Structure 1
């Protein structure tokens, strides 16, 4: 929660008022009129399961008058309710999941599917257990011009702290916001030196990605204030009421682009009330992927050397990671971030003159970049294991420019220990562990040619060591009999059931991918990839024996609305999975953001349609 001042808060939980003191509410100022309130209240007794639990958050003004959510955020309530509610489920019998929410994509916002679902189903026993967002909740590296203009207006309105910049053509954030390159030309902020060309190309996206997506870093966020303002604008309708941004001076071509983006941002804004309402009624968990920080984040050892070896790009990455910690990561596991919060408060205290202390900021960024507790595990039934596939990478032993493995040996060993002796488990991997073979093959070819950045060559099979270890984990005798892998990232949705060949008692694995919440793959291109993948990797194709998964049988589920046997579903929305008592997926749906009926992923007979 963010307020324009440090607030006096009281949590009302099941009719009991708990006044929040410094031990239960950590307040971190990020500007003159912007105070983050991180609320973590330990309870003497566990809350009941499978029943509605009402709560309210009371703000006490200077006159001692209390105002509840009905007064200060009525858009968070359904119908005639006076306060929000939530349900703690005794087991995960269903959940919602998705990834990739880009505000200026023309698709509708898939999180509004969650709002419609909760509004139509008030019964506690029929609520989803949780909403899992598996990456790219914000796009710090791909920002619309109107959104960036709104960010700057909100920075000014709230007095978000400035910072000094090293290694750029501007000396501080105030000069950055006024610079001619601030809109659509941010790669020009690097000095025109030969030593910066590699950074300009790899970090600011000088090379386009025509194979899969048109990545644009024209408006890449730079400062901590910019990223914080972005979070406020993508989650809260209230922030938009504080500003009235006007277009900057642009060329005729840029004005046309700005106008198109403006129409999309206006549509995005209309749904923010419903998004906030859904999140106020449902436990929400998150994990980062690359766009939360920057495109292709930690793709390879060479990328890391380039990005972290320059003070400007290192600051950009660190600022995004700091904002992620405050706005996403902390809520997943507050106990893991105690020390980090103290150092963040030290940084915010240095901003009394409106400028953050550069030495303190750089020191905090160094600690964030070496932090090892972004991943987390929930002791639910089934166990929920959420992977950090971005900061604990297995660097290629062959060449620095080859893609790194998504987890290193130590992280994979820890994953196996977490899974031992569980009868079932849900693993959240931002990138699919079992992806589309053809697309992975295209990525591998570009990596061999030395161009992994051109095609987002990040998949579990791209690194031999990481691929072998993760596949061996699935085949270990003491790891669960039922795995469900939830993923996003790819901007299309699909379901594979994976079986171990020649093992009757082997584990059953489901790869369930839902992407994106507000993003889609180019339709014509995906149609061809889908068709070619079915031809080239049909059940009897010898190409299957050239893949690392040759000891596994892949059984694709078919979207029920598919017109010509497609296995890949291309529609923004949110995924929903129902589980039986064994932790196996019983029904799998993709709710479509465009308002069309939900799409069921239909499982064929095991003997059919095996890749």
Structure 2
């Protein structure tokens, strides 16, 4: 992909961008081997991904990835062949002196596998994704992978990304292209032309001087409210985090109160839709493990549930309950690489919170469904209280799945939630649905203990 992006960058008229390793040291990402960027992106700079050998760095990297992911845009000749890529790949020498051979870490089998997957993806994007974007209203909010894996997951990660020269540069490039390719469409009237001009200036001449005016993007709150029927509150749970010892609040008290002021002014409604990239009410069995692991293992298990700060969770519940006339709050989430649904009734108000989590469309967790089932059994051995997961009412026995899936919510004309559906696909390609009745729901907590 990076090789294709180089050609696309030149076609777009964007200049090469030097990356800042240290205050006085620079390097040219395009002069680095395609699979050797890892040595410039250390954990001390805020990069903890295990896949950073070909990590995106420059503005054109991120922009070209959006063009490819959303529209299948590639250079005219498509993907380069393996022989063309070889001079740009990392290798080691093996054999006796004078009879050495080059051993490439990214070999032809890797190339053939990836090329097949990318060509299939390209065909789908050009045929189906473009059609969806052209005919359906789409709203978006980032999670960590729009910038880097584990973005702001821990206090150390957040500090390193904000203070290291390369971390700051990558964040600015990632958020600039996020604004252009995702956020601009969410609320176009709120994106000022002055900001777009700054991004254009940096794109045409990507220097440190032209990046500096965009550093404020790293502190922006990117959430927004859609005043429609039903109204939608989209939360930014990445950039406003507060760390206090072992506690993590996904949003600061000030930002939560700001959201509270916004929902209080909404027109009277019986239902409210809330987009929280991280589930508000998670898969308890996974969260129990996450909360008990130490600092060094936080990035391994993505320790970032809302319940990591009881105060932040209760505050969120309270402010959303201030929505005039609300009886049902539907929470859409993803991020966690598995899907489930659950119901939570707030004691004081009687408001029903419906947590609908659809994840992932592509990347399943280690162990898959068997691993999730084993985790559930192990944790439930030690805890007696059963989590109120929704049980599918179309014969499916599972309450959580790691199979690829996309979720759908059905509402009455009066905007009451009626049905939630997960459209799932197994590793063998076969498909099934998990259908939840939201009028007469059955929950895992209702089932008798065995």
User: TM-score higher than 0.5 here?
Assistant: yes
Residue 39 of structure 2 corresponds to which residue in structure 1?
188
1:491–1:577 CA distance, 2 compared to 1 (3 A): same
Q: Which has the bigger relative contact order, CA under 8 A and spacing at least 6?
A: 1
* Deviation (angstroms), 1:291: 0.3
1:375 aligns with 2:223: yes
Residue 483 of structure 1 corresponds to which residue in structure 2?
329
> TM-score normalised to the size of structure 1?
0.63
Q: Deviations over 1:116-175 (max 9, x none)?
A: xxxxxxxxxxxxxxxxxxxxxxxxxxxxxxx223222322333322223222699667x3
1:392–1:528 CA distance, 2 compared to 1 (3 A): same
Pick the aligned partner of 2:290 from 430, 443, 448: 443
Residue 420 of structure 2 corresponds to which residue in structure 1?
588
* Deviation (angstroms), 1:457: 0.7
> TM-score normalised to the size of structure 2?
0.84
1:452 aligns with 2:298: yes
Structure with the largest fraction of helix: 2
Distance 2:277 2:283 in 1: 15
- SS of the residue 2:419 aligns to: strand
1:291–1:487 CA distance, 2 compared to 1 (3 A): same
Runs (5+) with no aligned partner, structure 1: 1-146, 191-195, 206-214, 545-552
* Deviation (angstroms), 1:567: 0.5
Residue 263 of structure 1 corresponds to which residue in structure 2?
116
Alignment of 1:112-261 (within 5 A): 147-167=1-21, 175-180=28-33, 182-183=34-35, 185-189=36-40, 198-199=44-45, 202-205=46-49, 215-241=50-76, 243-247=78-82, 248-249=85-86, 250=89, 251-255=103-107, 256-261=109-114
* Deviation (angstroms), 1:450: 4.2
Q: Is the 8 A contact 2:20 2:165 kept in 1?
A: yes
Pick the aligned partner of 2:202 from 343, 347, 362: 347
Q: Is the 8 A contact 2:369 2:401 kept in 1?
A: no
- SS of the residue 1:413 aligns to: helix
Q: Is the 8 A contact 1:157 1:243 kept in 2?
A: no
Pick the aligned partner of 2:173 from 305, 308, 319: 319
Distance 2:231 2:314 in 1: 23
**Count of residues paired in the alignment:** 420
* Deviation (angstroms), 1:413: 1.2
Q: Is the 8 A contact 1:403 1:463 kept in 2?
A: yes
* Deviation (angstroms), 1:454: 1.6
Q: Is the 8 A contact 1:437 1:537 kept in 2?
A: no
* Deviation (angstroms), 1:519: 2.6
1:439–1:370 CA distance, 2 compared to 1 (3 A): same
Q: Is the 8 A contact 1:299 1:404 kept in 2?
A: no
1:170–1:508 CA distance, 2 compared to 1 (3 A): same
Residue 307 of structure 1 corresponds to which residue in structure 2?
161
Distance 2:389 2:5 in 1: 46
Runs (5+) with no aligned partner, structure 2: 90-102
Q: CA RMSD in A?
A: 2.9
Q: Is the 8 A contact 2:390 2:441 kept in 1?
A: no
Distance 2:295 2:220 in 1: 33
Residue 511 of structure 1 corresponds to which residue in structure 2?
355
Residue 361 of structure 1 corresponds to which residue in structure 2?
211
Q: Is the 8 A contact 2:263 2:323 kept in 1?
A: no
Q: Is the 8 A contact 2:21 2:40 kept in 1?
A: no
1:239–1:385 CA distance, 2 compared to 1 (3 A): same
1:188–1:305 CA distance, 2 compared to 1 (3 A): same
Q: Deviations over 1:25-67 (max 9, x none)?
A: xxxxxxxxxxxxxxxxxxxxxxxxxxxxxxxxxxxxxxxxxxx
Distance 1:512 1:240 in 2: 39
Q: Is the 8 A contact 1:473 1:479 kept in 2?
A: no
Quick check: 241-250 or 431-440, which moved more? Answer: 241-250
Q: Is the 8 A contact 1:559 1:569 kept in 2?
A: no
Pick the aligned partner of 1:424 from 237, 258, 271: 271
Quick check: 306-315 or 152-161, which moved more? Answer: 152-161
Distance 2:43 2:235 in 1: 33
* Deviation (angstroms), 1:478: 5.8
* Deviation (angstroms), 1:295: 1.2
- SS of the residue 1:518 aligns to: coil
1:465 aligns with 2:315: no
Pick the aligned partner of 2:135 from 281, 306, 325: 281
Residue 52 of structure 1 corresponds to which residue in structure 2?
none
